[in-house]
Amino acid sequence: MSYEEHKWFIEHTSPGTAHMFGVTSFLRSFRTDYQQVEIADTELYGRILILDGKIQSSEFDEYMYHEALVHPAMLMCPAPRCVLVIGGGEGATLREVFRHPMVEKLVMVDLDQKVVEQCRELLGSWHQGSFDDKRLELVYADARDYLENIDDRFDVIISDVPEPVEVGPATKLFTRQYFEMLKERLTETGLVALQAGDYGKPFIEAHSAIYNTIKQVMPFARSYRSFIPSFNTEWGFVVAAPYKLDLPTTFMFDTLIAERNLTLNYFDGITAKGMFSIPKDIRNIIDNETRIIDDDNLFTTY
């Protein structure tokens, strides 16, 4: 297909930058009560999910994002039997959690039922039937309302919600108060994992603020990253726990993967070593961050 024959989706990453995708077909375009949604097929990245003008994941590389998000925390937890996923509408986060054989129950809380229903219909290669797993309890609710009204505790909590953009529904899911709620809902050996924004300069300020905020709540917190081609940048994540913890070595990650008989395409001990090895200039930025995101002092990115 020539350049002239393409339809183009342009993701504006800042007022002065953009990322273009050659679209072969727009499958869905609609607005829910919470956000604008597009699902499209592209020539290079396959099918893509777009929320409020931002690429959430692509068929080509979603496994990189979801394995990076899920497996460090799941492997660092000695017995992840009960897991909470907040967001994760594509179902790929569920898919990766269910790879761990000791998982007995997974609760997924998502605000936007319409998005989940469309993902369930059109993104089968993402969820691979995970929505039909009998261990899944699917709840459509505001995450903070849900957390305030339960007594359950979880071995791992994975927060996979969109960036805190001004127009988005997830702004209060990156605050100190939210992280305190997550802490209260963890078991004694529980961990939290979250997607935490763009890791590339000059757009890392959201990640550094998120990371500094969760450090105020969790004694153990580690920032890490993975390059996601469809995002055209390194993407940031955080794994945290309400107790002191040592990051596993390369050998320990590989041993845990083997013990759980996991077949992964992206994540292993060597990958983990790279993800947690942060360049000096980025370390300086996140280590010197002073902002704390609060319910009364929200942070939004472009």
Which residues are known catalytic residues?
Answer: 160
Closest CA to 46 of 113, 121, 103, 126: 126
Q: 27 CB contacts (<8 Å, ≥6 apart)?
A: 39, 40, 41, 47, 122
DSSP state of 293: -
DSSP letter string, 76-114: HSS---EEEEEE-TTSHHHHHHHTSTT--EEEEEES-HH
Identify whether the C-beta of residue 126 lies closer than 8 Å to the C-beta of residue 54.
Answer: no
DSSP letter string, 121-143: HH-HHHHTTGGG-TTEEEEES-H
Sign of CA dihedral 228, 225, 16, 173: positive
The single residue listed with the structure tokens 């590389």 is 61
Helix, strand, coil shares of the chain, percent, nearest 5, are 35, 35, 35
Phi, psi of 112 (to 5 degrees): -110, 95
**Angle at which helices 205-215 and 280-287 cross, to 10°:** 50
The count of other CB atoms within 10 Å of the CB of residue 269 is 17
279 preceded by cis ω (within 30°)?
A: no
Q: Residue 87 corresponds to which tokens in the numbers above?
A: 């967001």
